[in-house]
């Protein structure tokens, strides 16, 4: 029997403050740069896109930032999220490891993304903004922001990467149900989209292109701001509710993780579960091993360069220092749509550069197989993105078996796969392949890095 270590719905358990890793890192995070001057970006430069309170969080070095009551009221609809011990999986693997997972699929959109969507919608509403523009890959972020905007009475305009738009009509329907307007990207609605389409009318899109379109719309209108579902410091901050709750829940189980595993697209769910534990270590507490799992087909942490780069394909965003495959990198069409970004969150990149986390790139077939093994043991179908974390945790559990070690492994099951069954259909039909990026393609995309001295 698996024992659900779920909190009772006791509101005192919902964290009252987010945790900011910048307060505990041994070096300050490198600042974002203005792409024209290559000087640190003044905070005012972000005001065309973000409200002041989110800009302040982006730059903050405060350890704790209070979660507004209006935000906690909405998070309480599904938080605290449950933390389970995967006893049936342990048995199936015959491992001495203790495997725990934090389940973020209980949110209304089925992933961790509403944790930040709600906060971002709140601060924009408070600043008098009427409309938010954003991009979405697989549709997880778009549906999360659509829901949050609906709850705060904001309009929501979503640019959805065309390949997902065509493959995932139900995600589009969910966004529209929550009142959002959805456009397939690249689109003729923006200069960035028109330019791409002129060169390649069949372009299947990328997150970088969709970001460029949403940023262009937001920068061009006073009543409209931009919202990003990952990568930025304030997004990672909002996701720390995952790790903060996990720390309490692990304590209720009288245990502590030796290893924390998460999948990384832009880095937010990994940071969300891992940073509170890492902070504990950095303040002299118990050490923890962190493992970031990315797709072999989009290997920013394992094969990218740690360098200043643009966040989008049209080179509209500031330069940020991150592990990047180059802003022109368009990954092969593999199935974890949420893990297709060319870069990695600057804070996760810095933590990797400091040797405070490990990273591994896994092939897609191993991830699907792990996801199915997990579903058959524990009854939850992981999102293809989340199956990367499952596969990473399985590797750790198998290592424990080989080494005869009884370690505690905690991973983030960041979303369910109920909207992704086509990917599983394709897997069972033998239509999926592994895809490792050729070195020369990566080198080509990296040749276009901005001319920042020293890189």
Ligand X SMILES: *Cc1c(COP(=O)(O)O)cnc(C)c1O
* CA distance linking residue 331 with residue 67, whole number of Å: 36
- Rule CB under 6 A: say whether 266 interacts with ligand X: yes
User: Would you count residue 299 as binding ligand X (CB under 6 A)?
Assistant: no
Which of 230, 233, 240, 317 touches ligand X (CB under 6 A)?
230
Cβ 356 to ligand X, closest distance in Å? 17
| Residue 159 dihedral angles phi and psi, to the nearest 5° | -95, 115
User: CA-CA distance, 329 to 243, in Å (whole number)?
Assistant: 31
> Of the two residues 95 and 268, which places its CB atom closer to ligand X in the complex?
268
221 SS3 class: coil
Q: Which stretch binds ligand X (CB under 6 A): 48-56, 123-131, 296-304, 382-390?
A: 382-390
- Shortest distance in whole angstroms from residue 266 CB to ligand X: 4
Interface residues for ligand X in 19-58 (CB under 6 A)? none
Member of 269, 313, 317, 349 binding ligand X (CB under 6 A): 269
Interacting stretch for ligand X, rule CB under 6 A, among 38-46, 240-248, 266-274, 311-319? 266-274
Q: How far is the CB of 385 from ligand X (least distance, A)?
A: 3
Helix (H, G, I), strand (E, B) or coil at 17: strand
Contact between 325 and ligand X (CB under 6 A)?
no
Nearer residue to ligand X within complex by CB, 151 or 263: 263
**Nearer residue to ligand X within complex by CB, 46 or 161:** 161
Contacts (Cβ under 8 Å, ≥6 apart) of 379: none
8 Å CB contact between 159 and 188? no
Give the x-and-dash track for 336-375 against ligand X (CB under 6 A).
--xx------------------------------------
Which whole-number Å values give the CA distances from 286 to 256, 282, 283, in the listed order? Answer: 9, 9, 9
Tally helices (H) and strands (E) across the chain: 18, 14
Does 414 bind ligand X (CB under 6 A)? Our answer is yes
Separation CA 196–CA 200 (nearest Å):
6
264 binds ligand X (CB under 6 A): yes
Report the alpha-carbon distance of residue 248 to residue 235 in Å, rounded. Answer: 22
Report, in Å, the least distance between residue 101 CB and ligand X: 13
- What does the alpha-carbon distance between residue 310 and residue 449 come to, in Å, rounded to a whole number? 8
Q: Return the H-helix or E-strand segment holding 183.
A: strand 181-185
Least distance CB 103 / ligand X (angstroms): 11
Judged by CB under 6 A, the chain residues 103 through 132 that form the site for ligand X are 111, 113
The only residue of 268, 300, 357, 387 in contact with ligand X, by rule CB under 6 A: 268
- Of 301 and 316, CB closest to ligand X: 301
Interacting residue with ligand X among 415, 419, 437, 446 (CB under 6 A):
415
CB nearer ligand X, residue 104 or residue 407: 104
CA distances from 35 to 193, 209, 273, 318, 379 (A): 21, 18, 32, 6, 48
Name which of 145 and 316 has its Cβ closer to ligand X.
Answer: 145
Q: Which of 15, 82, 243, 265 binds ligand X (CB under 6 A)?
A: 265
CB of 296 or CB of 385, closer to ligand X: 385
Gyration radius of the chain over CA positions: 20
Instruction: At 334, list the tokens.
Output: 């593999």
Query: How distant, in Å, are the alpha carbons of 193, 204, 327 from that of 201?
Result: 10, 9, 20
Q: Which residues contact 305 (CB under 8 A, 6 or more apart)?
A: 323, 324, 446, 449, 455
Contact call for residue 140 and ligand X (CB under 6 A): yes
**Residue 54 to residue 27: CA distance in whole angstroms:** 22
182 sits near ligand X (criterion: CB under 6 A): no
Per CB under 6 A, which region of 264-272, 310-318, 349-357, 440-448 contacts ligand X? 264-272
Closest to ligand X by CB, 82 vs 98, is 82
The yes or no reply on residue 383 touching ligand X (CB under 6 A) is yes
Decide whether 257 or 415 has the Cβ nearer to ligand X: 415
HSE of 152, CA atoms in CB hemisphere, 13 A: 28
Q: Which residues in this chain contact ligand X in the complex, by CB under 6 A? A: 111, 113, 140-141, 230, 263-270, 338-339, 383, 385-386, 414-415
């Amino acid at each position: 029997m698996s024992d659900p270590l779920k909190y009772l719905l006791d509101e005192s358990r919902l964290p009252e403050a987010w945790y900011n890793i910048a307060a505990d890192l041994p070096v300050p995070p490198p600042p974002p740069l203005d792409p024209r001057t290559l000087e640190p970006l003044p905070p005012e430069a972000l005001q065309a896109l973000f409200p002041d309170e989110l800009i302040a969080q982006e730059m903050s070095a405060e350890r704790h930032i209070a979660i507004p009551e209006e935000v906690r009221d909405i998070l309480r609809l599904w938080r605290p999220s449950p933390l389970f011990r995967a006893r049936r999986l342990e048995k199936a693997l015959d491992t001495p490891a203790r495997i725990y997972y934090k389940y973020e699929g209980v949110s209304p959109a089925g992933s961790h993304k509403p944790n930040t969507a709600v906060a971002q919608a709140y601060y924009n509403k408070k600043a008098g903004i009427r409309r938010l523009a954003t991009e979405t890959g697989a549709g997880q972020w778009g549906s999360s922001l659509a829901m949050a905007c609906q709850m705060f009475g904001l309009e929501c305009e979503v640019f959805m990467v065309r390949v997902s738009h065509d493959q995932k009509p139900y995600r589009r329907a969910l966004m529209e149900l929550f009142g959002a307007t959805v456009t397939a990207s690249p689109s003729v609605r923006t200069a960035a989209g028109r330019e791409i389409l002129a060169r390649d009318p069949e372009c299947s899109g990328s997150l970088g292109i969709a970001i460029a379109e949403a940023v262009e719309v937001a920068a061009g209108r006073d009543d409209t701001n931009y919202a990003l579902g990952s990568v930025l410091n304030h997004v990672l901050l909002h996701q720390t509710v995952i790790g903060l709750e996990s720390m309490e829940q692990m304590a209720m189980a009288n245990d502590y993780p030796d290893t924390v595993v998460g999948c990384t697209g832009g880095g937010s769910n990994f940071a969300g579960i891992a940073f509170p534990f890492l902070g504990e270590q950095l303040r002299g507490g118990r050490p923890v091993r962190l493992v970031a799992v990315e797709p072999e087909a989009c290997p920013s942490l394992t094969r990218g360069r740690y360098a200043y780069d643009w966040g989008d394909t049209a080179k509209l965003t500031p330069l940020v220092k991150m592990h990047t495959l180059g802003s022109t990198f368009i990954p092969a069409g593999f199935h974890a749509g949420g893990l297709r970004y060319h870069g990695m969150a600057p804070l996760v990149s810095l933590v990797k550069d400091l040797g405070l986390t490990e990273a591994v790139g896994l092939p897609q077939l191993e991830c699907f197989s792990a996801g199915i093994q997990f579903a058959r043991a524990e009854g939850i179908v992981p999102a293809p993105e989340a199956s990367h974390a499952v596969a990473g945790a399985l590797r750790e559990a198998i290592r424990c078996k080989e080494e005869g070690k009884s370690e505690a492994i905690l991973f983030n099951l960041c979303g369910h796969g109920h909207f992704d069954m086509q990917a599983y259909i394709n897997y069972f039909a033998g239509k999926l392949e592994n895809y490792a990026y050729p070195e020369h393609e990566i080198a080509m995309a990296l040749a276009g890095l901005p001319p920042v001295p020293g890189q």
